[in-house]
Every structure is written in C-alpha cells, then in structure tokens.
Amino acid sequence: MHHRKGFERPPAWTDRFRSPTPADLRESLRAPVRPLYDILRKRLQINPNVREEIVWYGDCWHWSLEYRTVLSKEPLAVLIPAPHDLQLALPMDQEFTRSLPMQRLKRAVRDGLDLVQEPYQSRWGIWSVGAATIIDDLQDLIELKLAHLTKAAG
C-alpha cells in the first residue's frame, strides 16, 4: 500500500504566507523562554500609548511583534521570537544614545548598545533575552527612550 506524506507547515515564525498570532509565536519558542516572552509583551503593552502589531521582517527577523507609538515614525521596539534566541531590538538615534547614562547602565544593556555607537552604522540595539534579570533593565531603557521621544515631540 502506498502512503503519501502530508504537507507539513513551516513553523509559525517563518511561514510568511500565514500571519501568526502572538500565541502561535509563543509556541515556537523553547519552553524555558516562553514566560520571558509573556513578561516582555506585558511590559511593552503597559503604556496605553504603545500598540502591538505582528509584522513580517523578512528572512532575518521573520514574524516579530512590533511596538509603536505616535511619537515616532519608527518602532519603539521589536520583540523577535526566534525559536533559538528570543531577542528585543530597539531602533536608536545618535542623540538618544549619547544622552544615555552609560556608567549607570548594566553591562548587559551596554553590550547591546555597542553596534549603535561610533564607528558602527547600525541604528539597532539588540539584546538576547535568555533570563528574567535583563528584562527590568531593558524596560528602564525603553522608558528612557519614551521620555526622549516625548521631549523631542514637544
């Protein structure tokens, strides 16, 4: 008897032809980081002026959760639910980066800022979120960014 193997769908994170839900993206993550994903989403949604959208970012970040505010044309933050490495990315301008109190920031936060500083040309700070300890520090950075955007908007 001949059996045909059925079509297997790609993981939700990489299936560009099917827009996933946040729950679909959560399921693609390793079990130990799922609670971190939940915490990050909750913290990013706490501000009523920030909205969450699921956006296709191509072959690099695939489907990610984008957080936007009316204060800027670019995202406030992007939560990248890569199954192998949950990440948070923030677009950063040089003025904001220079205003940060680098000596007071923890090393893990400063490390994610390396590529947004001279001589590099990237505008994205990126952090792997493999432990809950970094979440508070990243939330502080996001709050500083929101304050910077509010001040810039006047």
CATH number of the domain encompassing residue 105: 3.90.1150
Residue 6 is assigned to a structural domain of this protein: no
144 in Cβ contact with 101 (< 8 Å): no
Residue 1 lies in a domain: no
Domain carrying residue 58? 22-153
Specify if 99 maps to a domain. Answer: yes
**What is the model's pLDDT at position 11?**
84
The pLDDT of residue 122 is 82
Q: Which residue has the higher pLDDT, 70 or 114?
A: 70
Q: Is the dihedral of CA 128, 104, 46, 154 positive or negative?
A: negative
Report the alpha-carbon angle 51-54-57, nearest 5. 120
Total domain count, the chain:
1
pTM over 0.85: yes
- Is there a domain that residue 51 lies in? yes
Give 15's pLDDT tier (boundaries 50, 70, 90). Answer: very high
Residue of higher predicted confidence among 123 and 38 = 38
Domain-embedded: residue 3:
no
Identify whether 17 is part of a domain.
Answer: no
CA-CA distances (angstroms) from residue 88 to 4, 7, 10, 80, 97? 41, 32, 23, 6, 16
Residue 5 lies in a domain: no
Task: Check whether 3 has a pLDDT greater than 60.
Answer: no
In a domain, 13, yes or no: no
